């Protein structure tokens, strides 16, 4: 069974209908689509707007307290634990190409027992060194020449041509899975203790969730033919967490602090 999960924040509720309308075009259909919403948000105290009318195939699940962006997968993993289920979690401010879910389904048999993602970060990208190499060949990012061709096509069509971009020229291992592009996991890979996210670290779900996987020996690999999704700009620009500063820590500082936490506590990302 394939479950697609995501979460949202109050400023983005009004954009959810378009997000799901686009998602409905996927050539590989998930068995269930779940939206996880908190009753109390850390960044948005006070009265919460009502959710707009959503398709009847979207199941809305409520949690009492906000886990930050990890809300999009941790409660779903707990719900489906012990069952033969694949979960793909994603962000609600991206528009995914029609073959997006198909790539996860196809890649599962090619890279068994691994968390799969369409995009990831290296430790070097967040300003950290490594001593222990990845367990296999690293995913190779698309070349600058290919990205230049993409930009040329956009300019030639006055921005009307906005397809998803190739993310990797060669599939491989990744340090940190990026949820905005989609990540496939098994529910049993997350445990109840993963809900106990320390202060500041809740703002960087990509690092937190990846660390939870790696500490249990679950490696992270790119899908075959991974694509970078298009931003759904009205939603993307509504209170982006990437610009949030929590107790003096911005995104990069929080990323590094989270990696250091897992290094010190579980001996991963060394």
Domains, the chain, ordered by start: 2-266 (3.90.550)
- 89, exposed or middle or buried, with CB in 10 Å at 0-12, 13-18, 19+? buried
**Both tokens of residue 221?**
């690999």
- 87, exposed or middle or buried, with CB in 10 Å at 0-12, 13-18, 19+? buried
Note the pLDDT of residue 153: 53
Phi, psi of 127, deg, nearest 5 = 85, 30
Note the pLDDT of residue 165: 80
Note the pLDDT of residue 145: 41
Beta carbons of 212 and 108 less than 8 angstroms apart: no
pLDDT in tens, 220-231: 999 999 999 999
Percentage of the chain exceeding pLDDT 90: 85
Beta carbons of 48 and 39 less than 8 angstroms apart: yes
Residues 70, 140: Cα–Cα separation, whole Å: 27
Cα-only R_g, the chain: 18
Percentage of the chain exceeding pLDDT 70: 92
Beta carbons of 212 and 115 less than 8 angstroms apart: no
pTM beyond 0.75: the answer is: yes
Does residue 146 or residue 197 have the better pLDDT? 197
pLDDT in tens, 15-68: 999 999 999 999 999 999 999 999 999 999 888 899 999 999 999 999 998 999
Cα dist from 115 to 95, 187, 206, whole Å: 21, 11, 13
């Amino acid at each position: 069974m394939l479950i697609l999960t995501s979460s949202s924040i109050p400023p983005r509720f009004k954009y959810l209908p378009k997000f799901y309308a686009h998602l409905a075009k996927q050539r590989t259909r998930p068995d269930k689509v779940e939206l996880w919403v908190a009753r109390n948000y850390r960044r948005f105290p006070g009265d919460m707007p009502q959710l707009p009318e959503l398709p009847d195939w979207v199941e809305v699940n409520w949690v009492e307290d906000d886990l930050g962006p990890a809300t999009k997968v941790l409660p779903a993993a707990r719900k489906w634990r012990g069952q033969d289920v694949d979960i793909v979690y994603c962000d609600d401010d991206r528009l995914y190409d029609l073959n997006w879910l198909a790539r996860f389904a196809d890649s599962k048999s090619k890279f068994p027992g691994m968390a799969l993602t369409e995009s990831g970060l290296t430790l070097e990208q967040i300003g950290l060194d490594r001593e222990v190499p990845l367990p296999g060949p690293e995913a190779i990012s698309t070349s600058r020449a290919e990205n230049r061709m993409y930009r040329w096509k956009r300019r030639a069509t006055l921005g009307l041509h906005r397809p998803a971009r190739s993310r990797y020229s060669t599939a491989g291992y990744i340090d940190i899975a990026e949820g905005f592009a989609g990540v496939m996991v098994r529910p049993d890979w997350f445990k109840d203790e993963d809900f106990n996210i320390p202060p500041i670290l809740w703002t960087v779900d990509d690092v937190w969730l990846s660390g939870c996987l790696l500490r249990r020996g679950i490696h992270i690999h790119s899908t075959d033919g991974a694509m970078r999704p298009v931003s759904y700009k009205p939603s993307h620009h509504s209170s982006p967490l990437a610009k949030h500063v929590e107790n003096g820590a911005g995104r990069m500082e929080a990323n590094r602090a989270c990696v250091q936490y897992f290094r010190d506590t579980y001996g991963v990302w060394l």
